[in-house]
């Protein structure tokens, strides 16, 4: 996707004062995290179907350890994907202007996003009735960045769509990471993104744990 938009569509999209590849890469980083979230949804539902949880319950371990393992694995996969995508972006012309502090802040924002989204994915995996159902629910997350500023500026969109894109939480992550990597002021976008995804985490993590314990209550 990075290569396709970089070499096929990038020349037709005006993003103002920067190059399209500089505009594109932060959006691709967010997309990479959301695509990985689908695998978490499927993995959780697969555990529910295959009976592996029943075997784990025979071991002296915390009830939440199964979910925690999936969350940690998702975050690790996400971080690996982000490193790979940044490297590929640099190879095809991405030239960030961020300081060390701005890189660290961008990484922290993506880590919060990956962690929160992993818990949302776990909830979807737990409420799905089958692996196919989990796959369908996971697509909701996977396509959420496409209705954001990942590929084009919000001001180029029709009014109704623009209003949605500008205020949905994935756009806030994309814009925050983009501004940080390009060495620009983040403004209110940064704290709004953190507030949104901390709130989502505070809802999703307890909800996933509750559903899991209720489903496998002794």
Q: Which of 31-45, 133-147, 157-171, 193-207 has the highest mean pLDDT?
A: 193-207
State the average pLDDT over residues 94-114: 95
Q: Which pLDDT band holds residue 175 (cuts at 50, 70, 90)? A: very high
State the average pLDDT over residues 175-198: 94
Q: Which pLDDT band holds residue 181 (cuts at 50, 70, 90)? A: very high
What mean pLDDT, rounded, does the chain reach? 88
Can you give the pTM of this predicted structure? Answer: 0.90
Q: How many helices (H) and strands (E) does the chain have?
A: 9, 0
C-alpha neighbours within 13 Å on the C-beta side of residue 144:
25
* The predicted structure's pLDDT at residue 217: 56
């Amino acid at each position: 996707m990075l290569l396709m938009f970089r070499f096929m569509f990038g020349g037709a999209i005006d993003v103002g004062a920067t190059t399209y590849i500089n505009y594109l890469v932060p959006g691709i980083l967010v997309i990479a995290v959301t695509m990985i979230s689908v695998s978490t949804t499927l993995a959780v539902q697969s555990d529910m179907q295959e009976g592996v949880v029943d075997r784990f319950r025979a071991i002296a371990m915390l009830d939440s350890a199964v979910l925690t393992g999936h969350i940690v694995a998702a975050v690790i996969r996400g971080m690996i994907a982000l490193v790979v995508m940044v490297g590929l972006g640099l190879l095809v012309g991405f030239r960030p202007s961020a300081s060390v502090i701005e890189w660290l802040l961008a990484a922290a924002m993506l880590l919060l996003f990956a962690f929160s989204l992993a818990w949302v994915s776990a909830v979807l995996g737990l409420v799905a009735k089958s692996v196919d159902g989990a796959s369908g629910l996971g697509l909701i997350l996977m396509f959420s960045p496409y209705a954001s500023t990942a590929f084009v500026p919000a001001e180029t969109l029709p009014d109704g769509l623009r209003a949605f894109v500008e205020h949905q939480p994935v756009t806030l992550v994309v814009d925050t990471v983009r501004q940080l990597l390009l060495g620009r002021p983040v403004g209110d976008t940064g704290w709004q993104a953190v507030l949104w995804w901390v709130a989502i985490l505070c809802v999703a993590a307890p909800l996933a744990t509750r559903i899991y314990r209720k489903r496998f209550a002794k």
